[in-house]
Amino acid sequence: MKLTALRMINEKREKDFNKLGVFEAEDLVRFYPRAYLDLTERSSLRTAYHNDMVLVACEVVRVAPVNYMSRLKTVKAYCNQDGLPFTVIWFNQPYVRDKLKAGEYLFYGRVQNKYGQVSLVNPSFEPLEKNDRLKGIIPVYPLKGSLTQKIVRGAVAEALKKAKIDSVIPGPVIEKYGLPSLARSFFDIHNPPDLESRDIAAERLALEEYFILISAFKIIKGGKEDVRIHRYGVSAGEVKAFAERFGFEFTDGQKRAVNEIFENLRGPSRMNRLLQGDVGSGKTAVALCGIFMAVRSGYAAAYLSPTEVLAAQNYALLCRYFPDYRVGYLAGGMTAKEKRELKEALRRGEIDIVCGTHAMIQGDVDIPRLAFIVCDEQHRFGVAQRNALAEKGEGADMLVMSATPIPRTLSLIFYGDLDITTIPDKPKARQEVATSVVSASRYEDMLDYIGGEVRAGKQAYFVCSKIDEDDEEGTLISVKELFEELKGRLPFVRFALLHGRMKDKEKAEVMQAFKERQYDCLVSTTVIEVGVDVPNATIMVIYNAERFGLSQLHQLRGRVGRGSEKSYCFLLMGAESDSARERLMTLKNNTDGFKIAEKDLEMRGSGDFFGTRQSGKVLGEIRNLHYPAGVIFAAKKMSDETFEGHFDTEALREAALKKYNSLKDVVLN
């Protein structure tokens, strides 16, 4: 059914939905909320912290006239809650003046508590006696262009009524395990009567998604041919001599990884190996040893990176360690002429090692003699993208790397077709990073400390998860808001802004300028999670840390501690709770990424490994919902029983193949 068949969607809104990956009315059913507003409890401003989102009942004492002299056309209201006076201000919303009068109201918005003066900024509001909108559990959706929360909620509600929703899990399996109705679960995820119902629905939808995904891997792996084509002639002595170029002794884990790759390349089967290791464990050095094995044997190699920043860094490494070989670079930010010349050189076989981004996957890129492929940060690429590069060299050996430690139980489920090599240890020179969980009451103290460190010549990262301010009901501070706020609070500090919506060339320029100390602090989204190496950066600040998975926080923490100076990671809590504090204390007290990953799986569920980290195209974009890891194992068990009992239907195979093909749509950050 077309989107425009829905009552609330015209052509303009249809285009905006398309930008969000919604093309048909049925897609709206799986257009999950990215967050929820819990408006079941009201707050007291006396106990609210700076930047908290609050629902407050109060009295509006007076509303000032619109200040048209201000560039932002401000409206200000003077209010009182239980004897505490505060102000409410709206920017660029002059119509608010006509809607607001003296009396009792409910406000929902962000608290500003500066120098003891409390205010709310751009809150939603309604008369207290009316209270038919600011109550219950309210879904919050991603937005684009002309779309508002009201429009999206209405469109989703209509789609839920009209869509045909059937589970592809076979009837006998559904009956055996007493699974809830899939249709009811979709309704409850969009309109939860309470948080418990939302969580039950999330588990059921996650189970369906994992069932399809695991079944897809079963179907695809069925006919895989792994016979070795390339014959490597490199000797163990030559590999050992190459490893000595790094100027440090490999750890036991690195040595074992190099040996496993060496043996794999000399064996009868094509290599398809996952190399995982903690931040700073030396995976790149192992990968370069693998590339050496290929080029020394007369073959070509390719090194695929998720971002231009990381690709440029890897290109510099390749040029440094392979001075006797021809190294090429291919990325989206190059000029058309540069790309054309590089592709021609590749076709003529003049390049031994090509390094770059997903630009290497394009159909007009031909890499003769390609025998060895390294795919860095594998979770940033879809299976089909890796395969597209592998197809450029018949029978090419593949080494995919991950700095996100994955519990072995999950690895065996999702990478059952891969040999898994783990580097458990770290280089001895790696700095420990002191980690602190910071409550809102210590926020000013933290900023004062960072200001002092900047004056002493150090650099810092400030990280949050969101790029833009929401049009209505933002629950998290955005990177753009934070950038402006920090500039006001620390005017002597040189701040730079970085986020995933910037062009690759812009991101690379900002990162390079930060590395060269042209900026003191970088305010960024998680785009800096991988590939950034700035030894002078000693401080990492993460806002709303409770919203991230522990493994992702561990990754971000790994961006500091890369030099000789003592480094610090500050985890700011946006919402105080015992469970959130327990999770963050796990990170504070632990530096082993694999132990952290196991604990994260136990406490949070699997979303951090295979959900939010890999875009909604992979697992249904069930964001911010912490369902138990047991869901994955239940899905695997049900998938096993389905194929063993020959219950697999045409509908399941069609859904599984569609899921597999959609993996190529994973967003490259």
Q: 53-99, pLDDT tens digit by residue?
A: 889 999 999 999 988 877 778 999 999 999 999 999 998 889 999 99
Find the DSSP H helices in 134-251. 149-162, 171-177, 182-190, 195-221, 236-243
| 432 or 211, greater pLDDT | 211
* List of residues 6+ apart from 310 with CB closer than 8 A: 376, 377, 530, 531
Q: 641-663, pLDDT tens digit by residue?
A: 998 888 888 899 888 888 766 65
Q: Among 196-200, 279-283, 367-371, name the one with the lowest average pLDDT.
A: 279-283
CA 319, distance to chain mean position in Å, is: 30
Q: Where are the beta strands (DSSP E) in 573-650?
A: none
Q: 531-559, pLDDT tens digit by residue?
A: 567 889 999 999 988 888 887 888 889 88
Cα–Cα distance, 215 to 660 (Å, whole number):
10
Q: What is the CA radius of gyration of the chain?
A: 27
Per-residue pLDDT, averaged over 385-404, amounts to: 77
* pLDDT exceeds cutoff 70 at 495: yes
Cα–Cα distance, 383 to 381 (Å, whole number):
7
pTM metric for this prediction? 0.64
Q: Which of 30, 17, 302 is nearest to 151 (CA)?
A: 17
What tokens does 669 get?
Answer: 């950050």
Cα–Cα distance, 113 to 115 (Å, whole number):
7
What tokens does 529 get?
Answer: 């999670």
Residue 239 DSSP one-character state: H
Would you say how long the chain is, in residues?
669
What's the pLDDT score for residue 625? 40
* Angle between helix 283-296 and 308-321 (nearest 10): 60
What's the pLDDT score for residue 606? 47
